[in-house]
Structure 1
């Protein structure tokens, strides 16, 4: 049974689900920062996914990155699995812009986080509804 890591639950807002991954929004309004988490039990490394899931994770990741690059006029997309603090396999998809508060340094630990308001999350979901389609299902609330 898939259970989302408590740290990811605490630090993110759930946006919805792809066929394989749950899509989360890092609760920091300074960056459009998304996290894909494969809904598989006890997986901490990419190679622990079977071949079909590896391919699906890559499809979901690259598709999301491409949509976000256009939607947010990104200068660069940062895509990575790290997992040094949260061992559950998750893929960061971060929109970077030359005018963001951390450019060109990494986003981690640079500045205190600034949480989204309910209204900001709703506006972001509305913006994404126009570009996310097909096999993505938003979570309401």
Structure 2
């Protein structure tokens, strides 16, 4: 699976375990980003490497990396409608920050990088 959704890792039969903060932040960031108007989907790239794995699940289109200060930097790879991208990035970041605060993860969240991998025009409207 290459698009930005979660999937069970092949052959995974592990018992349910609490997700790490890294995986929780990746899942939260992906969920929040996909809920923003104009975001169509996340993409893990042609080889599926832009993903976060926890041994049981693959979150395509988001990576979360540990930083030296103990926080996690998040990078999202998104496909969006044709809209002004800078304001869209600000809305996505704000939504992720609010979600992290609600989940008690605001101190674990580091920088949020957003890569717009592609833009798609709205149906019926030419660019």
TM over 0.5: no
TM-score (norm 2): 0.32
More strand, by proportion? 2
TM-score (norm 1): 0.30
